[in-house]
Amino acid sequence: MLQQVLNGLAIGSVYAIFALGYTLVFSILGIINFAHGAVFTLGAYFTYTLLGGVFGFNGLLANGQLGIQLPFVIALPLGSVLAGLIGVLIERLAFRPLRLRGADPLLTLVSSLGVAVLITNLIQYLVGAEIYNFPADIYGTLPKAVNFGTAGAPVPVRTVQLVIIAVSVVILIALTAIINYTRFGKALRAVAEDATTAGLLGINTDRFILLTFFLSGFLGGVAGTLIASSVSIAGPYFGIAFGLKGLAVIVLGGLGEIPGAVLGGLVIGLAEAFVPPQYSGYKDAVAFAILFAVLLVRPRGLLGRALVQKV
Amino acid sequence: MTEFFATNGFLIVSMTLAATLALSLYLPLMAGQLSLAGPGFYALGGYIAAVLSDGKHFTWQGDLYPVPLVLLEMALAGLVCAVAAVIVGVPALRLRGIYLALATIAFVEILRVVSLNVEITGGAVGIFGIPQPYNDPSKLAYLWLAGPLLVGALLFTARLERIRVGRAFIAIREDELAADAMGINPTGYKVLAFTLGAGLAGMVGALSAHFINTWNARQGTFDAGIALLAFVLIGGSRSALGPVLGAMILTALPEVLRQASDTGGLPAWLGQFMKDGRLIIYGGLLVLGTVFLPQGLITPALFERRRRKPPAAPVGAKGEPPL
Amino acid sequence: MSDPAARPAPAAPLLTAAGMTRRFGGLIAVNNVSFTVAPGEIFGLIGPNGAGKTTLFNLMTGLIPATGGRLSLRGTDITRLPPHRIARLGIARTFQNIRLFGNLSALQNVMIARHSLTRTGVLPGVLGLPGARREEAATRRRALELLDLVGLAARATGQARNFAYGDQRRLEIARALALDPTVLLLDEPAAGMNPNEKAELSGFIRDLRDRFQLTIVLIEHHVPLVMGLCDRIAVLNFGQLIALGDPATVQRDPAVIEAYLGSD
């Protein structure tokens, strides 16, 4: 029981961090950035590279390796910052031109889908489709697992899961602080509340949007790295599947709701952790079943405000 | 000429099937709805055909699988997919905005997970040796089925645009609220458009299962949905002909370039890249298309429903003629 | 016609709004508004910007749900009905910020609005069965008639978004008339029209009322137009109904002078 809860919280908190990346962009632009899953993937590959990982022989970068090997505590933030920069690049290339033209969100959605496919397949072209594992020693001398039970009735939880929970908590606290106490956070809340008011407040929208995409990409990078450290990089497509699950998370929490993304992530993480082992094959469908249920019963999501339609 | 058709039979039929599938995405788009479920219905239709023709369900004499049974499978697949579309579509299409895209993603993923886990679909391995209705190694004979399906779907769609129901679709695409205020039930017609597309995708899937000869969970993926989207958006989403053309060109392009590079006309790496990097190119085309070709192949007017008000005065506004 | 201003609202009103209320968050856009509209009446809705006039139209056509109150047409409660049901029951409207199907032709715009009065389904339509062809031809004929009525028949195939502002307003009226409505709601029909067009508008609206036996509710800022045209006028200010009566009475009402005529 405790084991499932901790595992559920671990995966759920990564869902939360990842989904926050969707939510930040959605709350200011009203658009779902479908490239977010691809940024997640990139973040994992960036960190893998910075850790000194070697690439397989399939892609264009066959057997390539960075000259340096950074420790995990540095590679994680650095890889995520790189992912954040990719987020900025995506904003400039695939979002901004359409925004300036006042194009419909549906068109921007298509463009972000295009970016997702582009990045994913570019990765495959460069480093192949094989599975990459982070080096086993990234946590140094920490034990592989921690026993939460007694010696007689052990409840082992992998250290990785605990690290994930710890990192997630740190990130969530930092993000809460940013949103509540910085100029950026105030602007974010203002825009999420009402775009016109925010315009009147004299927020430099362009820089503000860039910053949001950076933060979104950073969160995607952290999430990708954490999942890769817990399981592996399952190939260039691993972010796509994760990205789709993230959509279920934000719908459950309420589109554009920052606390909703966290709650939605934890709920879906826990729901997956409690899937009985004999049905484990269906685990990946849980999030999507929840998405359907939400659309049927409460389309605004758990914490969403009433759907307002502009006439 | 005969030799060309014989060596390129597989490609020609593939192009025809892709074009029909692109129309299945175009149908909901006519009502302004982005569906990413095309591959899901396609996969479902394929499984239906593959299971029905496994020898335990339909029985037949001789080496060749009877064409009427293929037609029956296609009809059943279309029907089942249409019913599934109503179930998936109604909850999502009551709402305005991107909910259909999200619901269809969920549908495709659930279908994929289920098909990987149940026995009847052959699990992760899939279904092999699906019986062939034609004794033709080039597979060109499949054009007897794929060709009429495409022509029929194209005529159906083109005609639909000019009648009452199609006008209701287009009104919803242009301005859902105004359409509602003019007596059109948006949910009903959005579901209808989505259902028509789903039925068509199911029929293509059923035929494709025989054509490809093997069927597994990789048939209905998110990627395939993107490829479809590229077909429609690059070809032009303003008329039924656009998706058909887009699908044919984008399906043929890698193969044409490969053959061109084989004959020494092109550098080998280009042909190779067109083959391996096909999806890189599709992704790039989607981005470039939406950004740079809004008035060209892709008409943003299709997507711009209520975001922008019409200009107060015709300040040099020169749009293309209406549909 | 007898002097319309002197005519009292008959006992059986066509349209009844009782306590209509709409909140947006903390703001009350429409606050407990009640009135009735008699058959054949031209009913004016005026008030300063932001008084809640268009919101009231949106409530009356179901485009936004009411927070409270009741709206009925010929005694039938229509408060919770979706827009298309209300449209089918006979309330048609135009939009203040013009919501034509801009990429389509004028003819298509009007034909679309014949939707609920026609029935051709997918298959008969696609196959072009005789019944479907007849109905299509009738729809086209009716749409052309209406375009002719608003003076746009010659430009039936022109793309709506390329029309001049006044023409777009006229096209919206033709589109609304295509629903064969009993009640026509006009949201600022004179906005953007030149003085000539405005002068003709009064006669045109009266003519519409007589020809189609319509009941008309209109929102308008152009005071001379409203005063000369309407049988009765309701005045909204900050979402509340502050005066209701014939033009002469409303014009003298101190609250109206204070709120609207004085400030505008």
Q: What is the ipTM of this complex?
A: 0.92
Cβ neighbours of B305 in A, within 8 Å: 104
Which of A265-269, B138-142, C147-151, C191-195 has the weakest average pLDDT? C191-195
pLDDT at A30: 83
The answer to whether residue A310 scores a pLDDT higher than 50 is: no
Q: Which of A46, A37, A64 is nearest to A120 (CA)?
A: A37
Average of pLDDT values for B175-195? 96
**Which position has the token pair 């715009």?**
C109
C81 vs A108, higher pLDDT:
C81
**Shortest Cα–Cα distance, B8 to chain A (Å):** 27
Q: What is the DSSP letter of A154?
A: -
The pLDDT tens digits of the residues spanning B144-170 come to: 999 999 999 999 999 999 999 999 999
The answer to whether residue B308 scores a pLDDT higher than 70 is: no
Given a contact cutoff of 8 angstroms between Cβ atoms, the answer to whether A15 and A245 are in contact is yes
> In chain B, whose CA is at the least distance from the CA of A97?
B291
pLDDT at C140: 97
Which of A100-104, B223-227, B277-281, C220-224 has the weakest average pLDDT? B223-227
pLDDT at B323: 26
Q: Please state, in angstroms and rounded to a whole number, the distance separating the CA atoms of residues B23 and B298.
A: 15
User: Under an 8 A CB cutoff, do A121 and B277 touch?
Assistant: yes
The pLDDT tens digits of the residues spanning A159-208 come to: 888 999 999 999 999 998 998 898 888 888 777 766 555 555 666 678 88
The answer to whether residue A66 scores a pLDDT higher than 70 is: yes
A296 vs A263, higher pLDDT:
A263
Q: Which of B143, B135, B157 is nearest to B27 (CA)?
A: B157
Cα A129 versus chain centre, distance: 21
Given a contact cutoff of 8 angstroms between Cβ atoms, the answer to whether B167 and B239 are in contact is no
Where in chain B does DSSP place strands (E)?
none
Chain A contact probe: residue of C64, C96, C103 with most A CBs at under 10 A: C64
User: Under an 8 A CB cutoff, do C84 and B192 touch?
Assistant: no
- Report, as ranges of residue numbers, the positions in chain C whose pLDDT lies below 70: 1-11, 260-264
Cβ neighbours of C56 in A, within 8 Å: none
Strand partners, A233: A132
Using the Cβ of B270 and the Cβ atoms of chain A, whether some distance falls under 8 Å is answered with: no
Q: Please state, in angstroms and rounded to a whole number, the distance separating the CA atoms of residues B240 and C122.
A: 16
Query: Which pair of tokens denotes residue B295?
Result: 């008035």
Instruction: Name every residue whose Cβ is closer than 8 Å to that of residue A308 and which is 6 or more positions away in sequence.
Output: none
The answer to whether residue B314 scores a pLDDT higher than 80 is: no
> In chain A, whose CA is at the least distance from the CA of C95?
A311
pLDDT at A194: 64
Numbered residues of chain B with Cβ closer than 8 Å to any chain C Cβ: 156, 159-160, 163-168, 170-171, 174-175, 177-186, 192, 196, 301, 306, 309-314, 317-319, 321-323
Using the Cβ of C139 and the Cβ atoms of chain B, whether some distance falls under 8 Å is answered with: yes
> In chain C, whose CA is at the least distance from the CA of B165?
C122
Number of neighbouring beta carbons within 10 Å of residue A68: 10
pLDDT at A189: 79
Among A97, A115, A295, whose Cβ lies nearest the Cβ of B283?
Answer: A115
The pLDDT tens digits of the residues spanning B276-302 come to: 777 788 888 888 888 887 544 545 444
User: Under an 8 A CB cutoff, do B182 and C104 touch?
Assistant: no
Which of A142-151, B63-72, C114-123 has the weakest average pLDDT? A142-151
A108-112, A302-306, B141-145, range with greatest mean pLDDT:
B141-145
Among B32, B99, B280, whose Cβ lies nearest the Cβ of A121?
Answer: B280
Cβ neighbours of C58 in A, within 8 Å: 311
Among B116, B283, B306, whose Cβ lies nearest the Cβ of A114?
Answer: B283
A197 vs B78, higher pLDDT:
B78
CA-based end-to-end distance of chain C: 33
Numbered residues of chain C with Cβ closer than 8 Å to any chain A Cβ: 58, 63-64
Using the Cβ of A62 and the Cβ atoms of chain B, whether some distance falls under 8 Å is answered with: no
Residue A156 — pLDDT band, cuts 50, 70, 90?
Answer: confident
The answer to whether residue B322 scores a pLDDT higher than 50 is: no
Given a contact cutoff of 8 angstroms between Cβ atoms, the answer to whether B253 and B66 are in contact is no
**Shortest Cα–Cα distance, B163 to chain C (Å):** 6
User: Under an 8 A CB cutoff, do A110 and B284 touch?
Assistant: no
Check residue B279 and give left, alpha or beta (phi > 0: left; psi -120 to 50: alpha).
alpha
Q: Please state, in angstroms and rounded to a whole number, the distance separating the CA atoms of residues B166 and B173.
A: 11
Given a contact cutoff of 8 angstroms between Cβ atoms, the answer to whether B244 and B235 are in contact is yes
Cβ neighbours of B183 in C, within 8 Å: 84, 87-88, 113, 115-117, 179
pLDDT at A208: 86
User: Under an 8 A CB cutoff, do C162 and B312 touch?
Assistant: no
Given a contact cutoff of 8 angstroms between Cβ atoms, the answer to whether A246 and A15 are in contact is yes
Q: Please state, in angstroms and rounded to a whole number, the distance separating the CA atoms of residues B1 and A293.
A: 55
The pLDDT tens digits of the residues spanning B230-275 come to: 888 878 877 888 889 888 888 887 777 777 767 666 676 776 776 6
Query: Which pair of tokens denotes residue B84?
Result: 């599934």
Neighbours of chain A (3+ CB pairs under 8 A): B, C
The answer to whether residue B79 scores a pLDDT higher than 90 is: yes
The answer to whether residue B318 scores a pLDDT higher than 50 is: no
The pLDDT tens digits of the residues spanning B196-208 come to: 999 999 999 999 9
Q: Please state, in angstroms and rounded to a whole number, the distance separating the CA atoms of residues B122 and B114.
A: 11
Residue B30 — pLDDT band, cuts 50, 70, 90?
Answer: very high
A93-97, A137-141, A150-154, B186-190, range with greatest mean pLDDT:
B186-190
The answer to whether residue A311 scores a pLDDT higher than 60 is: no
Q: Please state, in angstroms and rounded to a whole number, the distance separating the CA atoms of residues C224 and B129.
A: 82
**Shortest Cα–Cα distance, C99 to chain A (Å):** 10
Cα B58 versus chain centre, distance: 27
The answer to whether residue B305 scores a pLDDT higher than 70 is: no
The answer to whether residue B98 scores a pLDDT higher than 50 is: yes
Using the Cβ of B129 and the Cβ atoms of chain A, whether some distance falls under 8 Å is answered with: no
A278 vs C91, higher pLDDT:
C91
What does the mean pLDDT of chain B come to?
A: 83
User: Under an 8 A CB cutoff, do C104 and B306 touch?
Assistant: no
**Shortest Cα–Cα distance, A139 to chain B (Å):** 34
Residue B180 — pLDDT band, cuts 50, 70, 90?
Answer: very high
> In chain C, whose CA is at the least distance from the CA of A311?
C63
> In chain B, whose CA is at the least distance from the CA of C93?
B181
Cβ neighbours of B179 in C, within 8 Å: 101, 112
**Shortest Cα–Cα distance, B167 to chain C (Å):** 6
> What are the residue ranges of helices labelled H in chain A?
2-29, 36-50, 72-90, 96-101, 105-127, 159-181, 183-193, 195-200, 205-230, 238-253, 258-273, 283-297
Residue A195: how many CA atoms within 13 Å on its side-chain side?
A: 7
The answer to whether residue B55 scores a pLDDT higher than 50 is: yes
Q: Which of A128, A126, A96 is nearest to A111 (CA)?
A: A96
Q: Please state, in angstroms and rounded to a whole number, the distance separating the CA atoms of residues B175 and B178.
A: 5
A225 vs C252, higher pLDDT:
A225
Q: Please state, in angstroms and rounded to a whole number, the distance separating the CA atoms of residues B93 and B198.
A: 14
pLDDT at B20: 96
A102 vs A165, higher pLDDT:
A165
A149-163, B99-113, C230-244, range with greatest mean pLDDT:
C230-244
Provide DSSP, A162-215. HHHHHHHHHHHHHHHHHHHHSHHHHHHHHHHH-HHHHHHTT--HHHHHHHHHHH
Instruction: Name every residue whose Cβ is closer than 8 Å to that of residue A129 and which is 6 or more positions away in sequence.
Output: A58, A235, A236, A237
pLDDT at A201: 61
Using the Cβ of B57 and the Cβ atoms of chain A, whether some distance falls under 8 Å is answered with: no
The answer to whether residue B319 scores a pLDDT higher than 60 is: no
**Shortest Cα–Cα distance, C53 to chain A (Å):** 13
pTM: 0.88
Helix (H, G, I), strand (E, B) or coil at A65: strand
Numbered residues of chain A with Cβ closer than 8 Å to any chain C Cβ: 309, 311
C110 to C145, C148, C188, C217: CA distances (angstroms): 10, 12, 20, 21
